[in-house]
Amino acid sequence: MKILLCFGTRPEAIKMAPLFHELKKYSIFEVKVCITAQHREMLDQVLDFFEIVPDYDLDVMQPNQTLNGLSAHILSKMDYVLNDSKPDLVLVHGDTTTSTMVALAAFHLSIKVGHVEAGLRTYNKKSPFPEELNRQLTGRIADFHFAPTQKGAKNLLQEGVKKDAILVTGNTVVDALVLTSEKLVNGFTTTAIQTLKNSINFSRKIILVTGHRRESFGEGFENLCKALLKIAENEEVEIIYPVHLNPNVQKTVFEMLSKVENIHLIQPLDYPSFVWLMRKSSLIISDSGGIQEEAPAFNIPVLVTRETTERDEGITAGFSYLVGTNTSTIVEMANMLLHSKLEKEDKPNPYGDGKASERIVHFIKNHI
């Protein structure tokens, strides 16, 4: 069976990497990889670490790209890839412009589509924007739906997807995390880890920050920065912020936060360095989907700087807190979590057990 994995951004690559390696174990599969390179540097970092050499690289990223321009580029370039590779199955991931455009291109050529990380929903088209609609569209196109949690599967069933086209798998991000944590425990290190060790006082409380959601550009990011300035008045904390390369994020964050001694604005980290840093953190403030799924593995609380989340399993289980982008709420919650002693109970990660890729591959072998 010919399988083509297509992805384009950092989180898709992290979450598709374990699946790629699992598929490669079986000679019945002829596996190829197409990257749209919707992200460039941030994607290449992941490919290097997971040792994936793409068969096709569409190289579409443009500085400050528009959603329509990006969509048009991907859609037009996929004809060549699909006609050249002639896959029996295309696998896409999640909710990016890459996943939806690739799924649509495959559908136009009557090629079957499997959707990894299927069924996540807020049912609010504006939040997250444009991801909520992307995942609904990909869900309509897909023939097979790999839902990370029971809740995802339930959403799909309610939307009329047939039961036998859905598999609950856990999130492949946990597979990636297990693999990476094992490497780190066995002594794997990076230049970025060494630099962090030399430049940051790890005896202080570490607050790790990330953010990139389009619906927070402007006021939302300004409010977050104001909150970080307030939190940084406490000299016992070190705030480390690997700043996303989106120019709309960079502008606000560098303008507002560059001159503070205990706020460290750094380049996006390669994946193992980021995992290493998560483990050193007392608190994470982020609007990232992937980080909401990873932090429970290390029992690190996350303030989710969004108005909605499709990942409420972490909130229900007490790992994360939906705080929006209100400055005083972020400051109050950060102070509360930094000063309260969190019970380090061994609660299971609600997003997965590290075996998602195995389950997906088993399904493909036996049902497709």
Active-site positions read 95, 117, 131, 212, 214, 244
- 218, 263, 223, 272: which is closest to 243 by C-alpha? 263
Candidate list 135, 212, 306, 359; residue touching ligand UDP; CB under 6 A: 212
Binding of ligand UDP by 268 (CB under 6 A) = yes
Cα–Cα distance list, 260 to 156, 265, 278 (Å): 46, 10, 22
> Which residue matches tokens 């699909």?
82
Helix ranges (DSSP H) in the chain = 10-23, 41-50, 67-85, 97-108, 131-141, 150-158, 172-185, 191-199, 219-231, 247-257, 271-280, 289-294, 313-316, 327-339, 356-367
Tell me if 132 sits within 8 A of 95, measured CB to CB. Answer: yes
Footprint of ligand UD1 on residues 207-266 (CB under 6 A)?
212, 245-247
Here's the x/- map for ligand UDP, 220-249, by CB under 6 A: it reads as ----------------------x-------
Residues 6+ apart with CB under 8 A from 247: 63, 64
Binding of ligand UD1 by 38 (CB under 6 A) = yes
Q: If contact means CB under 5 to 8 A according to the sort of partner, which of ligand UD1, ligand UDP, none does residue 225 touch? A: none
The size of the interface with ligand UDP (CB under 6 A), counted in residues, is 16
Here's the x/- map for ligand UDP, 312-331, by CB under 6 A: it reads as --------------------
> Burial letters for 237-257: b for 16+ Cβ neighbours within 10 Å, e otherwise?
bbbbbbbbbbeebeebbeebb
Q: If contact means CB under 5 to 8 A according to the sort of partner, which of ligand UDP, ligand UD1, none does residue 36 touch? A: none
Binding of ligand UD1 by 151 (CB under 6 A) = no
Candidate list 27, 28, 53, 64; residue touching ligand UD1; CB under 6 A: 64
Here's the x/- map for ligand UDP, 85-104, by CB under 6 A: it reads as --------------------
Q: Which one, 71 or 85, has the nearer CB to ligand UDP?
A: 71
ω into 63 cis (within 30 of 0): no
* Residue 186, burial from CB neighbour count under 10 angstroms (0-12, 13-18, 19+): exposed
What length is written for the chain?
368
Here's the x/- map for ligand UDP, 270-299, by CB under 6 A: it reads as -x--x-------------xxxx--x-----
Task: Quote the least distance from Cβ 358 to ligand UD1, whole Å.
Answer: 25
Helix (H) or strand (E) holding 32: strand 30-35
Binding of ligand UDP by 11 (CB under 6 A) = yes
Q: If contact means CB under 5 to 8 A according to the sort of partner, which of ligand UD1, ligand UDP, none does residue 41 touch? A: ligand UD1
Footprint of ligand UDP on residues 157-196 (CB under 6 A)?
173
Binding of ligand UD1 by 63 (CB under 6 A) = yes
User: Identity (one letter) of the amino acid at 144?
Assistant: F
Tell me if 9 sits within 8 A of 42, measured CB to CB. Answer: yes
Contact footprint for ligand UDP (CB under 6 A): 10-11, 14, 173, 210, 212, 242, 268-269, 271, 274, 288-291, 294
Contact footprint for ligand UD1 (CB under 6 A): 9-11, 38-42, 61-65, 67, 70, 95-97, 130-131, 212, 245-247
